[in-house]
C-alpha cells in the first residue's frame, strides 16, 4: 500500500495541465505506469487522484453492493460521476479534464495535498478556505476520530 506525504503548490495552465512537483512525482513513480483515476470529491470542492491499484481496491468493495437496492445504485452513479482515467505525461504533467477543472473551480494556483493513499487536487483559494474552516473544530474532531485509539486500562 502506498502512502503519500506532503502538500505542494503549483500552477495549472489554460488547458488544465499541472506540472507535478519533483517530490510528489518521485512518490508516484512506483505507480506511474499503471495510470490514475481522477474524480470529484464527495465532501469537498476538490478532485481526488487515485493510483489505479487503489481505485481497483475501492471498486472491489463497491462491486459488492446490491444494485437492486436503489440507494446503492444511486450512490454508485453519483460516486462515479465524472470519473476519468488520466496519466502523467513524459514531462511530468497531469492533464485535468475541463469538466473536472470546472467542478473544483481550479483557476491558476493549485494545491496537491496528500490524503494517505490518494492525492487531493484543489484550487489554492478553496484549499486555504477549507483548512481555515476546519481549524476551528480540528481539536474536537481529532479527539472524536482518533481519541478512542488511546484508551488506557485503569490499574
Whether residue 10 contacts residue 121, with contact meaning beta carbons closer than 8 Å, is answered with no
| pLDDT at residue 27 tops 60 | yes
Mean pLDDT over each residue of the chain, to the nearest integer: 91
Angle at 28 between CA 25 and CA 32, to 5 degrees: 105
- Exposed / middle / buried, residue 97 (Cβ in 10 Å: 0-12, 13-18, 19+): middle
Minimal CA–CA distance to 96: which of 21, 16, 12, 11? 16
pLDDT digits (tens, 9 = 90+) for 56-79: 999 999 999 999 999 999 999 999
Rounded to whole angstroms, the Cα distance separating 103 from 98 reads 9
pLDDT digits (tens, 9 = 90+) for 79-93: 999 999 999 999 999
* pLDDT of amino acid 150: 53
pLDDT digits (tens, 9 = 90+) for 99-136: 999 999 999 999 999 999 999 999 999 999 998 877 66
Task: Give the pLDDT mean for 41-67.
Answer: 95
Rounded to whole angstroms, the Cα distance separating 127 from 147 reads 26
Give all domains of the chain, ordered by start, each with its CATH number. 7-147 (3.40.1550.20)
| pLDDT at residue 151 tops 70 | no
Amino acid at each position: 500500500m502506498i502512502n503519500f506525504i506532503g502538500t505542494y503548490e503549483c500552477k495549472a495552465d489554460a488547458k488544465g495541465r499541472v506540472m507535478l512537483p519533483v517530490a510528489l512525482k518521485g512518490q508516484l513513480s512506483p505507480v506511474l505506469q499503471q495510470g490514475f483515476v481522477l474524480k470529484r470529491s464527495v465532501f469537498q470542492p476538490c478532485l481526488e487522484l487515485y493510483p489505479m491499484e487503489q481505485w481497483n481496491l475501492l471498486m472491489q468493495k463497491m462491486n459488492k453492493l446490491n444494485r437492486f437496492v436503489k440507494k446503492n445504485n444511486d450512490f454508485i452513479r453519483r460516486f462515479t460521476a465524472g470519473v476519468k482515467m488520466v496519466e502523467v505525461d513524459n514531462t511530468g504533467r497531469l492533464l485535468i479534464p475541463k469538466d473536472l477543472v470546472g467542478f473544483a473551480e481550479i483557476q491558476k494556483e493549485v494545491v496537491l495535498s496528500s490524503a494517505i493513499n490518494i492525492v487531493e487536487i484543489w484550487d489554492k483559494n478553496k484549499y486555504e478556505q477549507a483548512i481555515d474552516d476546519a481549524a476551528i473544530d480540528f481539536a474536537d474532531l481529532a479527539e472524536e476520530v482518533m481519541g478512542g485509539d488511546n484508551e488506557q486500562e485503569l490499574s
